[in-house]
Amino acid sequence: MPTVTYKTPNISCHHCVKTIQSELGEVEGVRSVIAEVDSKTVRIEFDSPATEEILKKLLAEINYPVEE
């Protein structure tokens, strides 16, 4: 099962964490989402049909773009 960790500088509070976990948790194939305020990271475990492209696109859509 692929696991990715993204740096997302827009995470500033626990409401951000809840939003990210809720939105990504609805993506088919996503197994777990751990967002952290202190490190401003999102760790995602997923299977098909979820892809990194889908995850990054959704994060950008909800105003938490991934820092490349």
Q: How many CB atoms lie within 10 A of CB 64?
A: 21
* AA letter at 60: A
Over the stretch 10-22, which tens digit does the pLDDT of each residue have?
999 999 999 999 9
pLDDT band at 2 (very low <50, low <70, confident <90, very high): very high
Q: Which CATH architecture has domain 3-61?
A: 2-Layer Sandwich (3.30)
Over the stretch 21-46, which tens digit does the pLDDT of each residue have?
999 999 999 999 999 999 999 999 99
* pLDDT at residue 27 in the model: 98
* pLDDT at residue 68 in the model: 82
The whole-angstrom separation of Cα 47 and Cα 63 is: 24
The whole-angstrom separation of Cα 64 and Cα 41 is: 10
* pLDDT at residue 52 in the model: 97
Query: What DSSP string runs through 20-38?
Result: HHHHHHTSTTEEEEEEETT
Q: What phi and psi values does residue 37 have, to the nearest 5 degrees?
A: -70, -50
pLDDT band at 5 (very low <50, low <70, confident <90, very high): very high
